[in-house]
Amino acid sequence: MSRVLGLSINRQHQFSKPAVDAIELIAGEGIVGDAHCGVCVKHRSRVKVDPTQPNLRQVHLIHVELLEELRGQGFAVDPGTMGENITTSGIDLLALPRDAKLLIGDAVVISLTGLRNPCAQLDAYQTGLTRAVLDRDDAGNIVRKAGVMAVVEKGGMIGTGDKIQVKYPTKPFVKLQKV
């Protein structure tokens, strides 16, 4: 069964986020107390381009299986290290389509908007980490493995250990792209 393995927030725009036991999500805005909470984009590079863009990156999720893979390559990464809000277990986030909904705990619903595009902050944390979360498929296309982004459709409280259920959108599925 898929579960929430870790939760992290940070009021500051910093690379890593400290662990917390529970978080509150607000529909259309994101996570209470997190620097990326808001209707409009909060990522500094995107704010410089157009601060009125919709915030499609309210919640950042990474699967623990990626962290385990990276630790196997010698990287020091734990839940929250790479800036994610929710660390999941038992779900292949990267294989889900755009608009897939994750029902977390008893009430929260988030909708996937796309892939996190790895940035230079990863290498500032540990040399080679950016390359480690990028790959190529058989056709030579870039595969981004640094997690997925989502928006909050139905808010509420979630805690570590809460179950996660996936609700797929209507076919045809649209593959996640960077957001």
Residue 48 has pLDDT above 90, yes or no: no
Render pLDDT for 117-139 as a digit per residue (tens, 0 to 9). Answer: 988 889 999 999 999 999 999 99
Sorting pLDDT into bands at 50, 70 and 90, what band is 45?
Answer: confident
Cis geometry, peptide bond prior to residue 18 (ω within 30 degrees of 0): no
Query: Is the CB of residue 86 less than 8 Å from the CB of residue 59?
Result: yes
pLDDT cut 70: percent of the chain above it = 100
Furthest-apart CA atoms within the chain: distance in Å: 41
Mean pLDDT of the chain: 95
Residue 160 in tokens = 């570590």
- Domain residue limits, the chain: 3-167
In this prediction, residue 49 carries a pLDDT of: 87
**pTM given for the model:** 0.96
The model's pLDDT over 83-122, given as tens digits with 9 standing for 90+, comes to 999 999 999 999 999 999 999 999 999 999 999 998 888 9
Q: Does domain 3-167 have CATH number 2.40.33.20?
A: yes
